Chain A
Amino acid sequence: MTAVETGFAESESSESSEPSESFETSETSESFESSESFESDPTEAPLELVTPQVRRERRRPRGLAFALRALGPIVILAGWWTASATGVLTKDLLASPPDVVRQGVDLWRSGQLSEALTVSLGRAGTGLFFGVVVGLLLGVTAGFSRIGDDLLDSAVQTLRALPFLSLVPLFMVWFGIGEAARIILIAVATTFPMYVSTSGAVRNADRKLLEAARTFGLGKLATVRRIVLPGALPALLSGLRLSTTLSVIALIAAEEINSTAGLGYLMAQAQNFSRTDILTVCILIYGLLGLAADILIRALERVLMPWRAAVGGTR
């Protein structure tokens, strides 16, 4: 009996003891006491059994996901529309959705919009390209080699802290008021998010994989290309997202530098004539550009990381 009790007391010690239950259990086991010692004690008490609740990821229909994603913008649009229709938002504050659509179509037909878009996208794209490449190179260097980290990191982090908008006047002095100043401004702005994401992810590369690579005689470049960069891809793509957004922000600032074409120019003109409809068209286009970039990067994720989709399923 004592052996039974101690065994039981031990197994229940973590919980606050409930005298009634423990008494009951030790009584039931008493009748089995004569049998082998490991066949006795609390295992006789009936155990409450349950059917396990499985948290299983169900595949949602594609349409539902799309509908849910569209819901947010639709709510905003509906709010804007009602506010305009009920007169809460007057025309001199913000044009109504139908006016904006009409103006957008007009601008497109006249060729002004498509021209502005081409010019602006060209600037943003070129700047983004250089910014991302430089950020990637600096990030890999700082993340992969200790000497690179020592040399680069504090310098880049200091530069990163400068608000790039404050550089606009300086850039005008250095690079003139031409195209170069605008593209360099966008490139500088987009370098830093890419640098931060890349250096962090590269620094956290899987040590075991790096070790394995070394035993197979992979060189430094091959190691970066085959192991470090694929491992860092998720972080690289989120860096790219930040950079893309920033490229549009920098674009607006850049197009304030004495420009004669582009979305920023179109906006400046609209501002001069208090055309809220044109302003709204431009703002919406900025929003759509951001959305398009996001969709593009999502697609890029699927293309660049096929091994991720492979483990998304069962097991």
Chain B
Amino acid sequence: MSIAVQATGVRREFDGRVVLGGVDLEIRRGEFVALLGASGSGKTTLLRILAGLDSPDAGEVLVPRQRTVVFQEPRLIPSQRVLGNVALGLPRGAATRETARAALAEVGLADHARAWPATLSGGEAQRVALARALVREPGLLLLDEPFAALDALTRLKMQDLVADLVARHRPAVLLVTHDVDEAIRLADRVAVLGGGRLVLDEAVSTARPRDESDPAFAALRRRLLSELGVTPAGQAVAA
């Protein structure tokens, strides 16, 4: 498979504090990579570097020209209707409106095209953000904890929706998350960032759709949690 992201030796410091100390990451086209890490481990910094919102102090980054980001908050523009938000930055015209409408239909919000962002629920707003990211057919889709602010039920639905949309559009995906289950459920590969490096990077071999009761799921979950510094004792009780 061809390469969509090639990052080598990415380094980033903030006021002398090393957040990324030489990270190597490669994502193939159409591959879904989940990046886990404790709070402050530099997950978001790496994502911002791949998005072109921040530049590394050292190292090389190669990404597709067309990349889009879904942030933790929807970041919809309050002065534009939902359709306008989805079509944001695209050339104006009837064709664009149709594409945007189709993208909205894909996230199940076809009848909200004329709504103002302020009137949407959190889950709906995040679905609009997702439609806005996918309507450009990105080579790389960057998801920065997009479900973190949603309630548990909406989160599960959103995860299914993302899995479905990604399977259909096949962008390379980097999902930054702190939710181990979410990472295993969605990703082709999971990586763990710790101490400024990738301390773990492995393919998820469990067959889809993935079930938490699968022993392989549970084993991977345990290993990821221990990499993230969660004590296995509490884990044993939960399992």
Q: Which residues from chain A sit less than 8 Å from chain B, CB to CB? A: 7, 10-15, 38-39, 41-54, 56, 314-315
Cross-chain contact B64 with A49 (CB below 8 angstroms): yes
Q: Which residue of A12, A51, A315 is within 8 Å of B61 (Cβ)?
A: A51
- Closest-by-CB residue of A relative to B51 is A52
Q: Which of B57-96 contact A (CB under 8 A)?
A: 60-65, 67
Cross-chain contact B14 with A49 (CB below 8 angstroms): no
Could you tell me the distance in whole angstroms from the C-beta of A30 to the nearest C-beta in chain B?
Answer: 15
Cross-chain contact A11 with B137 (CB below 8 angstroms): yes
Q: Which residue of B2, B5, B61, B168 is within 8 Å of A43 (Cβ)?
A: B2
Could you tell me the distance in whole angstroms from the C-beta of B162 to the nearest C-beta in chain A?
Answer: 14
Cross-chain contact B1 with A315 (CB below 8 angstroms): no
Q: Which residues on A sit within 8 Å (CB–CB) of B2?
A: 43-47
Q: Which 4 A-B pairs have the closest CB atoms?
A: A52-B52, A43-B30, A54-B55, A43-B29
What are 5 A-B contacts defined by CB distance under 8 Å?
Answer: A38-B30, A47-B64, A54-B54, A56-B55, A315-B45
Q: Which residue of A44, A47, A52 is within 8 Å of B50 (Cβ)?
A: A52
Please measure, in the bound complex, the distance between the C-alpha atom of A163 and the C-alpha atom of B49, giving whole angstroms.
55
Give the size of the chain B interface in residues (CB under 8 angstroms): 33
Cross-chain contact A52 with B63 (CB below 8 angstroms): yes
Cross-chain contact B30 with A315 (CB below 8 angstroms): no
Cross-chain contact B1 with A44 (CB below 8 angstroms): yes
Interface flags, B15-28, vs A, CB<8A=1, else 0: 00000000000001
Please measure, in the bound complex, the distance between the C-alpha atom of A54 and the C-alpha atom of B11, giving whole angstroms.
15
> Told that A43-B28, A52-B51 touch, could you supply 9 new A-B pairs with CB distance under 8 A?
A15-B137, A43-B1, A43-B29, A47-B64, A48-B65, A51-B60, A52-B67, A54-B54, A314-B14
Could you tell me the distance in whole angstroms from the C-beta of A302 to the nearest C-beta in chain B?
Answer: 21
Please measure, in the bound complex, the distance between the C-alpha atom of A136 and the C-alpha atom of B67, giving whole angstroms.
47
Cross-chain contact B65 with A50 (CB below 8 angstroms): yes
Cross-chain contact B52 with A54 (CB below 8 angstroms): yes
Q: Which residues on A sit within 8 Å (CB–CB) of B64?
A: 47-50
Q: Which residues on B sit within 8 Å (CB–CB) of A42?
A: 29, 170
Task: Known A54-B52, A56-B55; judge A49-B137 contact (CB<8 A).
Answer: no
Is B114 among interface residues, defined by CB-CB distance under 8 A?
A: no
Is B4 among interface residues, defined by CB-CB distance under 8 A?
A: yes
Please measure, in the bound complex, the distance between the C-alpha atom of A49 and the C-alpha atom of B49, giving whole angstroms.
14
Is B41 among interface residues, defined by CB-CB distance under 8 A?
A: no
Is B37 among interface residues, defined by CB-CB distance under 8 A?
A: no
Is B139 among interface residues, defined by CB-CB distance under 8 A?
A: yes
- Closest-by-CB residue of A relative to B32 is A38
